[in-house]
Amino acid sequence: MQPGLNGIIMVSFSLDDSKLKELQRNIKNVTGRREVPVTDLLTDNFIRQHSDFQSLQAMFDASSIKTLDEVGSEQFDTFISSHTEFRSWNEMIRVTNADSIKRELDL
């Protein structure tokens, strides 16, 4: 008979599920529809990392929009694609929202 594992080996271990429980609590906190101020999502740090600007205010000041109703317009999307890493305002919001959720989930 050759040496080897011919029988069943039982291994005992314990699992600390406290991180899993914390993640479950955090997921409950971020699920569903939420209203978040755009300044909480588009932080100055995010703007510096992903655009030609130092702040959200500087980006809006440099754009040609006159009212908040113009945010997301084709003209504003052209501005966003020229001065950020994103093709549109909606893409920028999707990315920063995903980043925000990752932070909240502590991932």
For the chain, which residues make up each domain, given as ranges?
A: 38-105
Is residue 75 within 8 A of residue 64, CB to CB? The reply is yes
Produce one character per residue of 74-98: b if its CB has 16 or more CB atoms within 10 Å, e if not.
eebbebbeeebebebbeebbebbee
Residue 103 phi/psi, 5° resolution?
A: -65, -45
How does pLDDT run across 51-97, given as a tens digit for each residue? 999 999 999 999 988 888 888 899 999 999 999 999 999 999 999 98
Average confidence score pLDDT of the chain: 84
Instruction: Give percent of the chain above pLDDT 90.
Output: 43
